C-alpha cells in the first residue's frame, strides 16, 4: 500500500511487457503507477486524474508520443513528461522536448537510469515550487502594487500613497531614472476610487514640441495643415481617470502655461477649437530633474511648479537602500528563472557582494536587466560573478586602496589619488553622465567639472 506522499506516474507504451516491467520497477522505487497503451488512452486518464510524471514512448499507434506531448501541453496539464526513445528516434525525442517534454531516456535502459531521470525531475519540481513560494512571500510581505522594498523610507512612501490615492490632489513624483516613478503613479491610480477609469501615461520629453499640444489637448479638423480630422487628446482620453505626465521637466515653456490653465480651470480647449470642454482628470507628474533649480534658471514656471508640487513623493535611488538588493535579486531570479525555464538559480556570496558594492546608476531597472542577463548566461543553478556584466566585476570598492602606492605617506597625495579613482569609478558607472556621477559622489555638478579639469580626466 502506497503512502499518501507517493509520486504518481503514468506509463504510456504500446508494449504490454514493457509497461508491466516498468510498473514493477517504479513501484519498488516508491512510486504509484498507472498504465496506458497509447497516447489517446493516456490523455483520457490525464483528464480524469492527476499525475506528477508521465513516461511516454514515442512510437505508438493511434496517438504517438509527439502528438501526445503537443495535446498534453496544450491542455495545460502540469505533469512532467519524460519521453522514451528507441534507437533511431532521438531526433523525435528532441522535437518532443521542444514541444514541452522535460527530458528523454533511450531504450533499452536500466532501472538506475530511470531513477536518476526521475530524481532530477523531482528536484526540478521542488525548485519550481520553492520559486512560486518565494515570489508569493515577497509579494505578500514586501510588495506594494508591484514595487518591492523593505526600506523604512520606501515603506513610508507606500503609506503616503495609500493616504493620498483617493484625493484628486496633484502629485509630483521625484527620483532618478529607473527608481519606479511610473509604478508609483499606477499605484496611486489602481488603489484609488478612479481605478475603473483609464490610466494614460505620456513622456513629455519623447514627443516633439510642435506635436505635444495636439497630443495632450487634441485638435479639430483643419486646425493646421495635417489636421484632416478631429483628434481626441490625452486629457480627454483620461477623463474619469488619471493622466501621468512623465518627465514633466522636459515640457516646453509655451505649453506650461496651457497646462497650468487646465489644472486650474479643469477644462481643455482643443487646438483650433472656439470653446472649452470640462474634464475630470487626476494629474500625476514625475521628473528626474531638479525642478526647483529649473525654476530659478527660468526653465520651468514657478506657478506651475507650485501647482504640481501640492503633494511630492521622492523615491530613493537603489544605492541608498542596499538592503533591498538581495530581496530584489531573489525576486528577479525567480521571475526570469520561471520565464526561461531555468528554475532554482541562486546568487552566490561573491556575486551578491558585487551587486551590493555596485552603485546602480540605472537603479532597479538596471538591476532587473542585470539579473535577467545573468539568468540567460548561467549554465547551472548558481549565479556567480562570471554571470555578471564586466562593469560590475571591474568596479569593486575593495580594489580602490590599491591606487595608492606602497611608498606614499602623504595624506594629501593619498586623498588626491583616491578622489581621482572615485571620480573615474562614478563616470564609468554612469556611462560618462556627469550629472549622475556628481549625485553619486555627493558633490555639485560644478565641483565635479572643476575636479575633472584639475585632474585632467576626460
Q: CA 43: distance to chain centroid? A: 36
What count of Cα atoms within 13 Å lies in the side-chain half-sphere of residue 112?
0
User: Could you please report the per-residue DSSP string of 202-264?
Assistant: EETTSS-HHHHHHHHHEE-TTSSTT--S-EE-HHHHTTTSEEEEETGGGS-HHHHHHHHHHHH
Q: Angle at Cα 115 formed by Cα 113 and Cα 118, nearest 5°? A: 110
- Residues 175 and 287: their CA atoms lie apart, in Å, by 7
35: three-class secondary structure by DSSP? strand
Q: Which helix (H) or strand (E) holds 190?
A: helix 181-190
Residue 287, all three cell numbers: 521628473
Residue-wise pLDDT tens for the chain (458 aa)? 444 457 899 999 988 888 899 999 899 888 999 999 888 899 999 988 889 999 998 888 878 888 888 888 888 888 889 988 876 566 777 778 888 888 888 887 777 888 888 888 888 777 776 666 655 554 455 567 778 888 899 999 999 999 999 999 999 999 998 999 999 999 999 999 999 999 999 999 888 887 888 889 988 887 777 778 888 889 999 999 999 999 999 999 989 999 999 999 999 988 888 888 999 999 999 999 999 999 999 999 999 999 999 999 999 999 999 999 998 998 899 889 888 888 888 899 889 988 988 889 899 999 999 999 999 999 888 899 899 998 887 655 444 445 667 677 777 777 788 888 888 878 877 777 888 788 778 788 888 888 888 888 87
Residue found under cell 510524471: 53
Distance CA 97, CA 48 (A): 25
CA–CA gap between residue 397 and residue 56 (Å, rounded): 54
Q: Which domains does the chain have, with CATH numbers?
A: 8-109 (3.40.50.2300), 152-315 (3.40.50.300), 321-394 (1.10.8.60), 404-454 (1.10.10.60)
Q: Cα–Cα distance between 328 and 147 in angstroms, integer?
A: 10
Amino acid at each position: 500500500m502506497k503512502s499518501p506522499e507517493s509520486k504518481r506516474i503514468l506509463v504510456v507504451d504500446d508494449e504490454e511487457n514493457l509497461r508491466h516491467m516498468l510498473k514493477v520497477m517504479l513501484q519498488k522505487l516508491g512510486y504509484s503507477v498507472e498504465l496506458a497503451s497509447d497516447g489517446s488512452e493516456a490523455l483520457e486518464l490525464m483528464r480524469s486524474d492527476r499525475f506528477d510524471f508521465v513516461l511516454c514512448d514515442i512510437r505508438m499507434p493511434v496517438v504517438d508520443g509527439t502528438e501526445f506531448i503537443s495535446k498534453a501541453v496544450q491542455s495545460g496539464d502540469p505533469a512532467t513528461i519524460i519521453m522514451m526513445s528507441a534507437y533511431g528516434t532521438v531526433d523525435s525525442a528532441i522535437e518532443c522536448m521542444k514541444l514541452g517534454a522535460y527530458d528523454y531516456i533511450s531504450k533499452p535502459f536500466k532501472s538506475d537510469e530511470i531513477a536518476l531521470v526521475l530524481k532530477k525531475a523531482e528536484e526540478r519540481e521542488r525548485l519550481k515550487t520553492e520559486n512560486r513560494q518565494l515570489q508569493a512571500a515577497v509579494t505578500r510581505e514586501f510588495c506594494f502594487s508591484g514595487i518591492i522594498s523593505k526600506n523604512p523610507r520606501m515603506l513610508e512612501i507606500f503609506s503616503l500613497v495609500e493616504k493620498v490615492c483617493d484625493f484628486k490632489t496633484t502629485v509630483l513624483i521625484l527620483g532618478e531614472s529607473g527608481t519606479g516613478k511610473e509604478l508609483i503613479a499606477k499605484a496611486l491610480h489602481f488603489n484609488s476610487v478612479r481605478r475603473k477609469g483609464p490610466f494614460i501615461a505620456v513622456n513629455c520629453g519623447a514627443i516633439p514640441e510642435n506635436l505635444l499640444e495636439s497630443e495632450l489637448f487634441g485638435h479639430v479638423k483643419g486646425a493646421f495643415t495635417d489636421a484632416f480630422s478631429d483628434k481626441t487628446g490625452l486629457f480627454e482620453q483620461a477623463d474619469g481617470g488619471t493622466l501621468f505626465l512623465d518627465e514633466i521637466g522636459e515640457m516646453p515653456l509655451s505649453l506650461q502655461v496651457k497646462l497650468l490653465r487646465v489644472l486650474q480651470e479643469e477644462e481643455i480647449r482643443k487646438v483650433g477649437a472656439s470653446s472649452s470642454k470640462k474634464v475630470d482628470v487626476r494629474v500625476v507628474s514625475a521628473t528626474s530633474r531638479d525642478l526647483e533649480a529649473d525654476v530659478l534658471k527660468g526653465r520651468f514656471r514657478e506657478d506651475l511648479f507650485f501647482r504640481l508640487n501640492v503633494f511630492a513623493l521622492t523615491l530613493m535611488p537603489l544605492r541608498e537602500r542596499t538592503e533591498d538588493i538581495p530581496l530584489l535579486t531573489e525576486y528577479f531570479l525567480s521571475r526570469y528563472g520561471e520565464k526561461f525555464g531555468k528554475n532554482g538559480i541562486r546568487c552566490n556570496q561573491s556575486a551578491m557582494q558585487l551587486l551590493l558594492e555596485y552603485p546602480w546608476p540605472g537603479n532597479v531597472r538596471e538591476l532587473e536587466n542585470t539579473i535577467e542577463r545573468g539568468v540567460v548566461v548561467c549554465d547551472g543553478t548558481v549565479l556567480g560573478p562570471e554571470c555578471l556584466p564586466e562593469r560590475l566585476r571591474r568596479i569593486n570598492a575593495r580594489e580602490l586602496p590599491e591606487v595608492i602606492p606602497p611608498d606614499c605617506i602623504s595624506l594629501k597625495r593619498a586623498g588626491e589619488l583616491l578622489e581621482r579613482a572615485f571620480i573615474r569609478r562614478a563616470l564609468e558607472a554612469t556611462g560618462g553622465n556627469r550629472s549622475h556621477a556628481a549625485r553619486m559622489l555627493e558633490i555639485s555638478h560644478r565641483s565635479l567639472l572643476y575636479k575633472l579639469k584639475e585632474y585632467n580626466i576626460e
